[in-house]
Structure 1
Amino acid sequence: MLNFYYSDPISLFLRKSNESIIGEIALTNQFGNNQNEIFAWENQIKILKEALTEKDGYLFFEFSVPRMGKRIDCLLLIKNLVFILEFKVGEQNYLNHNIEQVWDYALDLKSFHQPSHESVLIPILIATNASNSVIEFETTSHNDFLFKPVRTNSKDLKITIDKALELLGNEEKTIDSSYVKGSYQPIPTIIEAAVSLYKNHTVEEITKSDSDAKNLNQTTTYISDQIRIAKTLGKKIICFVTGVPGAGKTLVGLKVATDHLDKELGDSSVYLSGNGPLVAVLQEALARDKVEQEKSKGNRITKNEALKGVKSFIQIIHHYRDEYLRDQSAPYDHVAIFDEAQRAWTKEQTVNFMARKKGIIGFDSSEPEFLISCLNRHKDWAVIVCLVGGGQEINTGEAGISEWIKAVKTKFKDWETHISPHLFDSEYDAMDSILELKNECKVVFNPDLHLGVSMRSIRAEKLSLFVKQLLDLNKIESKQTLKSFQNQYPIAITRSIDTAKKWIKEKARGSERYGIVVSSQAYRLKPLAIDVKSPINPVHWFLNGKDDIRSSYFLEDVATEFQVQGLELDWACVTWDGDLRYSNSGWKSFSFKGNKWQKINKEERQKYLINAYRVLLTRARKGMIILVPEGNPDDHTRNPEFYDNTFEYFKSIGLPILN
């Protein structure tokens, strides 16, 4: 249920004094009221009373958008129409970021607020002092009754509302005040979730349903209990958390980390990930938000100051490892959360790296063994949380979860191991290791360590299934799955990069993020002005705005599977190269060496390449276009036959073709 600071039928609003209305708004605002807010409310009330004469309906002030952590200035319900009003008092221009702001509010309601799914939503930006208005009611190709933002000054707001009611109003489908009581089920990106948790929000406030919150709460509560027990009794405990795809394992890790930020209590925690781009983007997003939050309170804080606090609990696992290679003391934190723990390196990979890159000869541990040894330096207590995913390996030398279990059994027998029963599932390949551990050490199995409810939307779950079927070459099944969700999640194919760029730009609304993603082996896309060898900064690419040439929005720099894994776009252009080619006998994998493509015969590397495309095909939250170039018969490295069969395969599944 959404909330607001003030609501009334329009008829009652028109009869009340301005002072009375401001008083009601101010009383509800638990964060206090500054003079600028009161001045804005005074102007909004005056403008609305002039615009709403003889209107019937409902009015809401400061209507919450929980996922965005913001409030809509005013929400109007008249007949069958929902007006989302954003006032910019004193503003003379319709600034792009203000247009995006009101559009984002409307998009959030359309996507996550159940009564808004079928409602007509009209976002209106009111730049009160603008010299003229642009009163046009335009829809988009989405055909979901969400109109493009209307721009008006204060004196033309009445004309705007009257015109909308005349063109679109329907007395028989009147929306009443129960609209605000409808279910609101947000599906946050990992960036949005991290920002919300850092602000001390609860999982109930940022998840899409009660079952999500219950599932996440059970797991985080169980882990917090183990931290308390370990600290009280002087124990060392390691927990293994499993989950269905999209269940929120990373969210659990961030929740535990943010719940234990108070270093004075002596139980501070650190969230560690080997995913460098994810860590960098999360650190930057939290720091930027912290600066903005402090600014809104009248406090000044630099981004570097904000980053110091963030980096204390979100770190790259390899930096953490290297720190305690140099420093043999116990880590500052007693609790360490390892995300994607199955990706820690094998002994062979670690020993090789230490000798080659660090000049350390004689290193004799796998990465899991060394990481446990760091926490084991604590004389009193320690807790390790391993967040475990199954499959989708894209790097060589990844140890799998059995290496962690083996390390406990051989070197750290006094550690108590708490395991999700689902770790026995075949995808984790850990059954034998667990049984051996159980014979020699204390092992506790608890179902609360499994996240069994996917936080993804139904369409995202179907997308994952579709991508699996597509890559498994199950043509009939993938065709059926595509039909079941393509109305809610558009996917198209094209052979033209210009068409692809035009499509995602048109599909994206408000600040919805779009970009081009490619395989790290896609070396022959240079004629399309795509060079995978040109490194990107994922912070700029994922967080910067449409006016920054380094951002994904510019469609110039592209991201690979390594830079987008764990992160998401709203709309993606997946550009296919000759490294992965469809054939009747299965996928053919190639790497580009020197001046030609060479076939990949090693099964492990073939699997990595297919998984790379699996990552790329599952990055978009709202839709994607797959670009398969036509190639060039005059270029032996871009022969059309490298691409044509792949395009025909996608076409046969039923993907619509855009020319």
Structure 2
Amino acid sequence: MGASPSGEQVAAWRGEYEILGVTLREIAASIPRARQWDIIFEYELPRERGRRPDVVILTGSQVLVLEFKETAALQRAHVDQVAAYARDLRHYHAASHDKLVDPVLVLTRSPVERQWPDGWSGAVGSGSRWPGQSDDDLTAGLEPEAVAVVNPLGLRAVIAELERRAPDEPIDAEGWLSADYSPLPSLVSAARQIFNHEPLPQIKRAQSAGIPDTIATLVAAANQARDNRELHLALITGVPGSGKTLVGLQFVYENHFGDTGSQRSAVFLSGNGPLVKVLQYALRSRVFVQDVHGFLKQYGGPSGRTPEEHIWVYDEAQRAWDSQRVLQKRGHDRSEPEDFLSIGSRKDSWALMVGLIGEGQEIYLGEEAGLTQWNDAIARTSDPWTVHCPRKIADIFDSAERLDTDESLNLDMSLCTHLAEDVQGWVQDLLDGRLDAAAAHAEAMDRQGFRLYLTRELERAIGYVRERYRSEEDKRYGLLGSSKGRLNPFGIPTDYFSTQRMKIGPWYYDGPDSAKSCCQLDSAATEFQCQGLELDLPIVGWGVDLHWNGRSWESPPQRRSQARDPHVLRLNSYRVLLTRGRDGVVLYVPDGGTAFDADFEALVAAGGRGL
């Protein structure tokens, strides 16, 4: 910090102070206990640079979060901003977990005491008021933890009503200020913390998702392999965003040094080139994280060479190349799983191969054989392999010497979307054409704080994300689109040459002020560049490669495609694009003809809200 506030900022603070002074004096006259309330100005959320609600009021066992905007116009970005402050305090602040946390947006220049946007949902926590709700109804039936939108004159009534429903158990302000705040870091931030020897926050979400149990299971498998001089294969399944990559990175870090403290014993491998580049850029190192294709080029096939490491963690192992793709690219006909098992057999002591398995994300040619390749590789080797996996994929591995099923190896809870478990269900139902079911998921997502917006205007989407994250330097937002979507004419450059020019490391990692940052919104990532990575709020362009025909999604024929099922790859591409957001997603459907009109209407039917 250290910088002096601007004159404009000082004036804003004075205005807030005056408004609160008048409001709280009036409240104290009728509610004497209000004199014991504590008021906190500019509370900066720990670990989140630049995120600070204007005012926090501790009333009884309730936390009021106030955001002041010197405007008369109600903007979604402002509503969502204060809703996110309240959501994150509720979930990540130890002294607020068991409290009512209510967001209030104060529009200082509005002539309307209380208002709500027409057509917005009034669901709990959705950041809106019920359509048609009268002024008299507003405070009488205020939804718990939804955003109240008021002007200075309406502030007193709303605060008084919110306070009346809270138990009369005063919060200790000093204890509240010193309480631990453990936000969910992005994958890249978590990786940097791990390898900088910094402790990760004790995230309740990760604890309840079973990530510590998963790592403990891997440690036990490694110890068993080492102690008994055996070959082991452990497979971890999980929905997108469930923490598979975080598990792999944490496990590699804990095993990177051998018993002597000098020998490297573990490496994180990925065929996801952008993920490797981003992690190497963030870690400023190429030692811990390596490209799997370079690794297998050096040690696989006929090379006969053996790596130092005993533990190899392969991210997105279901995307391992089949023998046909390896022959095409490397000149020999052993699949990547066969290569790994062959390398393990050449180790003179022990080996543990860990495969991180994403579900429904095969988007490249040569990846479609999936998990069965690993069982086929075991069948072709003469060495006994012990397989550890969750029950749901156990039937695949009938060639294993021993099979150990463990449900801690299945991660089925998303970490990336702030408790929005319904995101995965929404995407699945949307792509399966079950629009009504998707709409039900969308309503639940909104209650959980995950925003799903639709627009036909790219500039409107850009204006929203910029205003939503103004002055929040750790937030990342950017443009995403399908590699086959032909979105260049609509402002999203997803053609081959544009994406090749983009430096993916800085694009994801650098702050909003960097010319190379995704926040500049002048370049775009495709499904190939965003798989395994995330943004706080992406703008996803809907392309020409997936259209709604009234009953289902269809993709145009791809005359030169060698894929076994090109349509499945298109669906999986959109599955990846639609699951990259942490706070939500803005879907941009170009205004480009009747096909796009049908797509837009389908997305509306699936629960998307106009921006």
TM-score by length of structure 1 reads: 0.67
- Alignment partner, residue 276 of structure 2: 279
State whether residues 241 and 419 of structure 1, in contact with CA within 8 Å, keep that contact through their aligned partners in structure 2: yes
Residue aligned with 2:298, SS: helix
Deviation (angstroms), 1:365:
0.8
Question: Which residue identity is paired with 1:375?
Answer: G
Deviation (angstroms), 1:313:
1.6
State whether residues 481 and 494 of structure 2, in contact with CA within 8 Å, keep that contact through their aligned partners in structure 1: no
Deviation (angstroms), 1:370:
1.0
Please, what is the CA RMSD of the aligned residues?
Answer: 4.4
Deviation digits for residues 104-154 of structure 1, max 9, x if unmatched? 9988536633457724599xxxxxxxxxxxx9899999567999xxxxxxx
- Alignment partner, residue 383 of structure 2: 413
Question: Which residue identity is paired with 1:517?
Answer: L
Whether 1:560 aligns to 2:526 is: yes
- Alignment partner, residue 431 of structure 2: 471
Give unmatched runs, 5+ long, in structure 2. Answer: 3-16, 18-34, 67-81, 118-126, 129-144
Q: How many residues of Structure 1 are paired with residues of Structure 2 in the alignment?
A: 517
Whether 1:403 aligns to 2:411 is: no
Deviation digits for residues 19-62 of structure 1, max 9, x if unmatched? xxxxxxxxxxxxxxxxx99xxxxxxxxxxxxx9xxx9566999x
Which residue of 458, 461, 484 corresponds with 2:444? 484
C-alpha distance in 2, partners of 1:485/1:401? Answer: 31
Deviation digits for residues 566-594 of structure 1, max 9, x if unmatched? 111111211112121110253221268xx
State whether residues 237 and 383 of structure 1, in contact with CA within 8 Å, keep that contact through their aligned partners in structure 2: yes
State whether residues 455 and 586 of structure 2, in contact with CA within 8 Å, keep that contact through their aligned partners in structure 1: yes
Deviation (angstroms), 1:413:
2.2
C-alpha distance in 2, partners of 1:417/1:529? Answer: 44
Whether 1:520 aligns to 2:483 is: yes
Whether 1:230 aligns to 2:200 is: no
State whether residues 512 and 519 of structure 2, in contact with CA within 8 Å, keep that contact through their aligned partners in structure 1: yes
Question: Which residue identity is paired with 2:243?
Answer: G
CA 1:275–1:619: 2 relative to 1, 3 Å: same
Whether 1:607 aligns to 2:590 is: no
State whether residues 67 and 192 of structure 1, in contact with CA within 8 Å, keep that contact through their aligned partners in structure 2: no
Deviation digits for residues 198-218 of structure 1, max 9, x if unmatched? 244567724526423xx2222
Superposition pairs of residues 116-515 of structure 1, within 5 angstroms:
118-119=101-102, 176-177=171-172, 179=176, 186-200=183-197, 205-208=202-205, 210-212=207-209, 215-263=210-258, 264-265=260-261, 266=263, 268-287=265-284, 307=285, 311-325=286-300, 328-355=304-331, 363-398=332-367, 399-424=369-394, 431=395, 433-435=396-398, 437-438=399-400, 441-451=401-411, 453-455=413-415, 457=417, 460-487=420-447, 488-509=449-470, 510-511=472-473, 512-515=475-478
Superposition pairs of residues 97-108 of structure 1, within 5 angstroms:
108=88
Deviation (angstroms), 1:467:
1.5
Deviation (angstroms), 1:382:
1.6
Whether 1:547 aligns to 2:513 is: yes
Deviation (angstroms), 1:550:
2.4
Residue aligned with 1:284, SS: helix
Residue aligned with 1:620, SS: coil
State whether residues 421 and 445 of structure 2, in contact with CA within 8 Å, keep that contact through their aligned partners in structure 1: no
- Alignment partner, residue 546 of structure 2: 580
CA 1:269–1:59: 2 relative to 1, 3 Å: farther
C-alpha distance in 1, partners of 2:317/2:206? Answer: 27
Question: Which residue identity is paired with 2:446?
Answer: Q
Deviation (angstroms), 1:608:
0.4
TM-score by length of structure 2 reads: 0.72
- Alignment partner, residue 42 of structure 1: none
Residue aligned with 1:237, SS: strand
Deviation digits for residues 378-412 of structure 1, max 9, x if unmatched? 21222111122332211111131221222122214
Question: Which residue identity is paired with 1:397?
Answer: G
Deviation digits for residues 482-508 of structure 1, max 9, x if unmatched? 223335322222222222222222333
CA 1:482–1:81: 2 relative to 1, 3 Å: closer
- Alignment partner, residue 151 of structure 1: none
CA 1:190–1:343: 2 relative to 1, 3 Å: same
Question: Which residue identity is paired with 1:286?
Answer: L
Whether 1:112 aligns to 2:72 is: no
Deviation (angstroms), 1:564:
0.9
C-alpha distance in 1, partners of 2:599/2:375? Answer: 42
Which residue of 617, 621, 624 corresponds with 2:585? 624
C-alpha distance in 2, partners of 1:553/1:189? Answer: 16
State whether residues 589 and 599 of structure 1, in contact with CA within 8 Å, keep that contact through their aligned partners in structure 2: no
Residue aligned with 2:333, SS: coil
CA 1:381–1:529: 2 relative to 1, 3 Å: closer
State whether residues 492 and 523 of structure 2, in contact with CA within 8 Å, keep that contact through their aligned partners in structure 1: no
Larger relative contact order (Cα-Cα within 8 Å, sequence gap ≥ 6) = 2
State whether residues 187 and 207 of structure 1, in contact with CA within 8 Å, keep that contact through their aligned partners in structure 2: no
Residue aligned with 1:262, SS: coil
- Alignment partner, residue 600 of structure 2: 647
State whether residues 204 and 210 of structure 1, in contact with CA within 8 Å, keep that contact through their aligned partners in structure 2: no
CA 1:103–1:312: 2 relative to 1, 3 Å: farther
- Alignment partner, residue 20 of structure 2: none
- Alignment partner, residue 589 of structure 1: 555
C-alpha distance in 1, partners of 2:596/2:159? Answer: 50
Give unmatched runs, 5+ long, in structure 1. Answer: 1-35, 38-50, 85-101, 123-134, 148-162, 288-306, 356-362, 425-430, 593-597, 632-639
CA 1:490–1:539: 2 relative to 1, 3 Å: same
Residue aligned with 1:315, SS: strand
Q: Matched residues, percent identical?
A: 29
Whether 1:530 aligns to 2:513 is: no
Residue aligned with 1:383, SS: strand
State whether residues 564 and 619 of structure 1, in contact with CA within 8 Å, keep that contact through their aligned partners in structure 2: yes
C-alpha distance in 1, partners of 2:49/2:202? Answer: 10
